[in-house]
């Protein structure tokens, strides 16, 4: 006779002890210290000596399990006629059967452990950084079950944690712990070792099916019944039963097994046995069916502690009992209680399930093929208004779209039904995944109304994904409310090439611009507050404010230690600073006339361009002139667009220069002590926002820096996430602001330097109306040809400077003639474009952009030879001259005295190796808005030079561009209706 118990002994003897959990601050694991207590506890146990498990720093929930008090007994029925009907089953079997069963069980344990260990070795080779973890949740404290699992876990390199709840824990307490375990990515299996009354439907169905390694949740039982063993788990006790039967009978096919009792275990065993060719019959405990004597094996399911007479079974039948342990003085039972073999077999199968769960988890972490379901379009003629088109299409839910493109549920943060943030952890998960093809949409020098780069971008991704079935992502900038409520009217695209819903796209979105506004204005408030305090307080009082005594201890913060290092003070104890060092530390000594930081607001408000602050009596005479920019003109917006991680963003925010001290030294946001607070305000804004097009293809909307004083491109992070998601053969289509001479040049020289990404092809958007303007007039084919041979050819040449192939997309308007369109396509190819095609996406959606999609795919087949326009170590003046001559066509540059002085200052401050971000009119290749085509023979005047140190570029001011913007040190942009910035990329008013 052989005894099998989940824990090799009674499961309900509780030890009155608990453990106190301590976090290891270095690696986030746990140390365990025994402490007498009646409260619940968490224990972590390593798989091998000297190692420590990835433990949890909190209580965790219980896991569903098999019969909680269950013991599995294997007996071979005796032919003896001795004993009466009241003789207990345990009494009628000899020690020889027990010995044989132990041998068989030992063999099974070795086999399960060996196969599981081999699987673990293979998995650890793929991902050595993660070790699987089993969480055992139990009511009360009993280490017997834990010890059996520790022995198995140690053999296969598995970690275990034990979570002990109170004996009388409530359902709510159990559910709370289960929810915590569900969300902990380190836990790969959960075993709920709880009394049957605690394993309620609510508890079982709270546990994630993929972590239910005992296979007792409704989902997992349903999978087993359906025959889907690829996702579910076979309950360990069921595996042990089948193992014992196989050891008892070499061939089980056709054998009859009687399952006596109720519960899910019987249901699971019935289906598992039938799939193996056995005949599984069901009965209950009260039945004395004659079938019992015909069965080759009988499995007594848990539930009742009753006497079972041997006369119920035919001689030689295997009898397996899964039920409560009979604790008696019987000699055989006492001997069985000391036999842990079958308890180890169940533990071995449970750890095997944990490894299966870990394997599936690893598989989920890999790249997932797309299963994108496109939304159907029914274009109407004439084309309705944009808002009518947007509202007529019902978008997919974000959860559905995320699943279709391979995002995990935990990587998505929903903002309503139609938009969601995507976690940056995706980059770590898919770090080995090859990037897709990188497509930039730029344009020729535009008319004041723009050339439709956004609509081309959206139409192209709709064509690639919905029609050609390539994985593709669009990456767009988030529009400001200034342009939205000005003449530009939003940036969601147009016609049947839109991001939907357009109202949500254009208004607020997920609050990123509001976060930038808050962060920007926090810096402005800190500047004024610091100047006030420095003007009205002593060094000692300032020091006490900056480094207060907390609980009798005064300490420097990490930001303050960083400032001390920059001052050349290598001290960490505030008490050791000399009076002179205290003065240097507490006084920034900002020069009010050289503060470059402005407040911002995200609406058109021209009367805030220049304001006076400090007029209240509480400001104590700290009056100065300042002003407001539009929020998207903040340097923080440019930083958001160029950062490649949260840490990188924090470091860039710290480096932002907000002004100059009276001694001529730059003062940074870190000097003000606000860089950490800025990062906190921006912690959600750094995550790209997922939306979709009219045809259900994915789009990232993230960041919206200006294309004049900033680089005018959507975020590096959005592009990187998208490139991983689309896969090697997919496409990421992103857009650059203004013409190719501005947005594309900055994309290559600034964004590509920051990201390390390399473009595959440039799509150059052109319109007949703009080419006519560059040709010198409104009509006739001659003017179109002149525009092509001047501006279009020059913009193609600019792309070729960087070694990138060009496909020209002719954005067709209903007023264009076929002759005009054909002429543009012909000349574009003559001028070096790989291809040139007309696009009808505005009227037809992705279907109208198929030719462009095919041309883009063809252009990416041959690898380009990307190169930067200039070496980053070139002097500032030479970098400016290179852009002026090679991109704009100028003969040379002319620096004003102020520009020369600024360049000297930046060189002195070691800013000379930053890239250049030219600020000039977008209406001409030159600095003169009225000079169309491709002007030559001009000198490019550089009136001033500014720096965005946090963003990481120098921006020269060319000619009279945005003159109002920079008067008297202001960084304001011109009004929305200005002829210089008609697209609305201008400031407030």
Beta bridge partners of 420: 414, 690
CB of 880 closer than 8 Å to CB of 916: yes
* Cα→Cα distances 400→372, 413, 419, 526, Å: 9, 13, 12, 44
Burial of 931 (0-12, 13-18, 19+ CB in 10 A): middle
Q: Which residue do the tokens 């439907």 mark?
A: 201
> Reduced to 3 states, what is the DSSP secondary structure of residue 158?
coil
Q: Among 263, 275, 367, 259, which Cα is nearest to 318's? A: 259
Beta bridge partners of 625: 612
The string of DSSP letters for 333-370 reads HHHHHT--HHHHHHHHHHHHHHHHHHHHHHHHHS----
- How remote is the C-alpha of 231 from its chain's centroid? 25
Q: Among 113, 109, 158, 63, which Cα is nearest to 343's? A: 109
What element of type H or E holds 97?
helix 95-126
Number of H helices, E strands in the chain: 36, 36
Q: How far apart are alpha carbons 688 and 678 in whole angstroms?
A: 18
- How remote is the C-alpha of 17 from its chain's centroid? 41
What element of type H or E holds 41?
strand 41-45
Q: Among 934, 924, 931, 937, which Cα is nearest to 890's? A: 937
Pairing outcome for strands 437-443 and 689-693: unpaired
CB of 667 closer than 8 Å to CB of 657: yes
Taking the chain, what is the end-to-end CA distance rounded to the nearest angstrom?
Answer: 91
Where in the sequence numbering do the catalytic residues fall? Answer: 453, 455, 477, 488, 707, 738, 813, 842
DSSP state of 920: -
φ and ψ at residue 602, rounded to 5 degrees: -100, 40
Any idea how long the chain is?
Answer: 989
Q: How far apart are alpha carbons 945 and 918 in whole angstroms?
A: 9
Sheet of 70-76, strands arranged across: 2-5, 70-76, 318-324, 297-300, 256-260, 279-283
* Number of CB atoms found within 10 A of residue 366's CB: 12
Q: How far apart are alpha carbons 208 and 27 in whole angstroms?
A: 27
Q: How far apart are alpha carbons 730 and 724 in whole angstroms?
A: 9
Q: Which residue do the tokens 């746990």 mark?
A: 30
Q: How far apart are alpha carbons 740 and 925 in whole angstroms?
A: 9
Q: 3-state SS of the chain: helix, strand, coil percent to 5?
A: 40, 20, 40
Q: Among 458, 419, 477, 405, which Cα is nearest to 730's? A: 405
Long-range contacts (CB closer than 8 Å, 24 or more residues apart) made by 870-877: 870/749, 870/916, 872/753, 872/913, 872/914, 872/915, 873/913, 875/907, 875/912, 876/903, 876/906, 876/907, 876/912, 876/916, 876/945, 876/954, 877/903
* Cα→Cα distances 31→23, 131, 161, 187, 627, Å: 7, 17, 12, 18, 55
* Number of CB atoms found within 10 A of residue 583's CB: 14
């Amino acid at each position: 006779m052989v005894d099998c118990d989940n824990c090799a002994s009674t499961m309900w003897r509780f030890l009155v002890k608990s453990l106190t959990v301590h976090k290891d601050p270095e690696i986030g694991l746990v140390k365990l210290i025994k402490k007498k207590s009646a409260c619940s506890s968490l224990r972590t146990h390593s798989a091998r000596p000297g190692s420590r498990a990835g433990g949890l720093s909190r209580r965790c929930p219980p896991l569903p399990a098999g019969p909680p008090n269950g013991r599995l007994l294997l007996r071979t029925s005796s032919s003896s006629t001795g004993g009466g009907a009241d003789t207990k089953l345990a009494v009628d079997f000899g020690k020889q059967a027990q010995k044989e069963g132990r041998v068989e069980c030992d063999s099974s344990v070795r086999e399960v452990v060996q196969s599981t260990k081999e699987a673990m070795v293979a998995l650890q080779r793929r991902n050595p950084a993660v070790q699987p973890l089993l969480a055992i949740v139990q009511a009360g404290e009993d280490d017997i079950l834990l010890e059996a699992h520790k022995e198995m876990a140690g053999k296969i390199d598995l970690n275990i944690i034990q979570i002990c709840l109170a004996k009388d824990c409530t359902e709510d307490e159990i559910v709370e712990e289960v929810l915590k375990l569900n969300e902990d990515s380190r836990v790969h299996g959960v075993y709920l070792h709880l009394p049957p009354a605690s394993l309620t439907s609510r508890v079982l169905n709270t546990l994630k099916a993929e972590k239910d390694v005992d296979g007792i949740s409704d989902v997992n039982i349903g999978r087993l019944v359906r025959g889907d063993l690829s996702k579910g788990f076979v309950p360990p006790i069921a595996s042990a039963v089948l193992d014992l039967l196989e050891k008892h009978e070499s061939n089980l096919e056709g054998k009859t097994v009687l399952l006596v009792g109720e519960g899910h275990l019987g249901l699971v065993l019935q289906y598992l046995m039938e799939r193996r060719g056995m005949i599984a019959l069901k009965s209950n405990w009260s039945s004395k069916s004659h079938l019992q004597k015909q069965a080759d094996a009988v499995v007594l399911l848990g539930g009742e502690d009753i006497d079972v007479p041997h006369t119920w079974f035919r001689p030689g039948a295997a009898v397996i009992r899964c039920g409560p342990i009979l604790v008696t003085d019987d000699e055989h039972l006492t001997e069985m209680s000391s036999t842990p073999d079958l308890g180890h077999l169940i533990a071995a199968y449970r750890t095997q399930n944990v490894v299966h769960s870990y394997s599936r988890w690893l598989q989920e972490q890999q790249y997932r093929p797309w299963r994108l379901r496109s939304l159907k379009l029914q274009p109407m003629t004439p084309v309705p208004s944009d808002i009518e088109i947007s509202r007529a299409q019902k978008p997919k839910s974000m959860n559905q779209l995320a699943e279709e493109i391979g995002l995990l549920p935990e990587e998505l943060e929903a903002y309503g039904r139609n938009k969601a943030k995507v976690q940056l952890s995706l980059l770590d998960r898919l770090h080995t995944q090859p990037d897709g093809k990188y497509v930039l949409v730029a344009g020729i020098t535009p008319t004041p109304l723009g050339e439709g780069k956004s609509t081309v971008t959206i139409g192209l991704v709709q064509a690639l994904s919905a029609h050609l079935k390539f994985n593709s992502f669009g990456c767009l900038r988030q529009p400001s409310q200034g342009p939205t409520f000005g003449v530009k009217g939003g940036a969601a695209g147009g016609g049947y090439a839109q991001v939907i819903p357009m109202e949500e796209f254009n208004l607020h979105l997920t609050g990123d611009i509001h976060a930038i506004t808050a962060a920007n204005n926090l810096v402005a408030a800190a500047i004024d507050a610091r100047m006030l305090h420095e003007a009205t307080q002593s060094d000692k009082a300032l020091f006490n404010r900056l480094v207060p005594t907390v609980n009798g201890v005064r300490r420097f913060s990490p930001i303050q230690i960083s400032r001390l290092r920059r001052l050349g003070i290598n001290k960490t104890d505030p008490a050791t600073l000399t009076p002179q060092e205290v003065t240097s530390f507490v006084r920034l000594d900002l020069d009010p006339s050289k503060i470059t930081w402005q407040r911002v607001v995200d609406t058109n408000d021209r009367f805030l361009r220049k304001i006076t602050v400090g007029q209240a009596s509480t400001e104590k005479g700290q009056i100065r002139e300042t002003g407001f920019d539009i929020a998207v003109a903040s340097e923080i917006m440019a930083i958001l667009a160029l950062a490649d991680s949260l840490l990188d963003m924090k470091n860039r925010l710290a480096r932002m220069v907000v002004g100059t001290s009276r001694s001529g030294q730059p003062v940074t946001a870190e000097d003000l002590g606000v860089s950490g607070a800025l990062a906190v305000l921006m912690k959600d804004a750094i995550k790209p926002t997922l939306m979709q097009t009219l045809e259900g293809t994915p789009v990232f909307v993230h960041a919206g820096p200006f294309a004049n004083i900033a680089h005018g491109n959507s975020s590096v992070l959005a592009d990187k996430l998208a490139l991983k998601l689309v896969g090697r053969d997919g496409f990421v289509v992103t857009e650059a602001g203004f013409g190719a001479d501005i947005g594309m040049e900055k994309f290559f020289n600034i964004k590509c330097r920051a990201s390390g990404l390399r473009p595959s092809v440039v799509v150059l958007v052109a319109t007949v109306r703009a080419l006519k303007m560059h040709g010198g007039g409104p009509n006739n084919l001659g003017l179109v040809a002149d525009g092509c041979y001047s501006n279009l050819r020059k913009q193609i040449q600019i792309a070729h400077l960087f070694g990138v192939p060009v496909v020209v997309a002719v954005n067709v308007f209903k007023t264009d003639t076929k002759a005009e369109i054909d002429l543009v396509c012909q000349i574009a190819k003559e001028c070096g474009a790989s291809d040139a095609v007309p696009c009808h996406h505005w009227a037809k959606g992705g279907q109208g952009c198929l030719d462009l999609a095919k041309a883009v795919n063809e252009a990416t087949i041959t690898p380009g030879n990307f190169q930067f326009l200039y070496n980053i170590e070139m002097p500032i003046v030479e970098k400016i001259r290179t852009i002026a001559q090679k991109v704009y066509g100028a003969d040379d540059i002319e620096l004003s005295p102020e520009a020369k002085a600024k360049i000297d200052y930046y060189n002195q401050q070691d800013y000379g190796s930053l890239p250049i971000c030219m600020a000039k009119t977008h209406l001409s290749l030159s600095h003169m808005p009225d000079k169309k085509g491709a002007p030559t023979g001009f000198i490019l005047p550089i009136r001033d030079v500014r720096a965005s140190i946090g963003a990481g570029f120098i921006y020269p001011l060319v000619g009279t561009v945005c003159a109002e913007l920079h008067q008297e040190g202001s960084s304001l942009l011109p009004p929305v209706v200005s002829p210089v910035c008609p697209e609305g990329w201008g400031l407030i008013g």
